Amino acid sequence: MDPLLARMLTSSRQCRCCGATFAELLSLSCDRPDIVPADLPVQDNTAVFATEGDVLTEDFCRFGSLRFLRAVLAIPIADTADEEFILGTWAGVSEEVFDDYLDLFELRETEGLGSLPAWLSNQIPPESGGPLACMLHMRPEGQYPELQVSEVNHDLARMQELGIGLEELLGFLHSYGHDLASLVYDA
Ligand SMILES: [Zn+2]
């Protein structure tokens, strides 16, 4: 492993913008799909069952005719045993899939849905274009489903396949506004 990366993974230095350590920043999350305006409040998951019309909860979003599920997109970090950069993001799915997922969610049986086509509904990194075609793989035991980018020539697909190095990872964190100088130097 890159010795600088190895040091950063265990460093207690904190990002000047948010107070997170480098290791903590390996898990970033988007609280809503990009298309959903910031003034739609995030509610408890029960709201999706209790209401009709537009609603945003921790794991679900109904917005006009659009439907979204909370998902993760993982990018392995090259030359490490199993470190990953995990983006908490949103998968755009059909109304039918959304309804099926809701039915199975409380039973913790969403894994039965298998793998389904979906759209990555946050631009990763920001301003990179989209939405991007993906496969959404269900996972057991109430874990978030995982997105795998389907467009093989896309940067994100390459990163998921081959992993990213330290420089690219730092570029990601910078694009999300984190203060690299406070994390990297004297790491
Ligand atoms: Zn920060």
- Domains of the chain, by residue range, sit at 3-184
pLDDT at position 36 is 97
Cα-to-centroid distance, 159 and ligand 1 (Å) = 22
CA 125, CA 131: separation in Å to the nearest integer? 12
H helices of 16-154, in order, are: 22-25, 46-50, 95-105
Cα-to-centroid distance, 76 and ligand 1 (Å) = 21
State the amino acid at position 147 in one-letter form: L
The residues placing their C-beta within 5 Å of ligand 1, an ion, are: 15, 17-18, 178
CA 159, CA 74: separation in Å to the nearest integer? 9
Residue in the block written with tokens 């959304």: 98
Contact of 80 with 93, CB cutoff 8 Å: no
pTM as predicted: 0.92
Cα-to-centroid distance, 183 and ligand 1 (Å) = 9
pLDDT tens per residue, range 122-165: 999 988 887 899 999 999 988 999 999 999 999 999 999 999 99
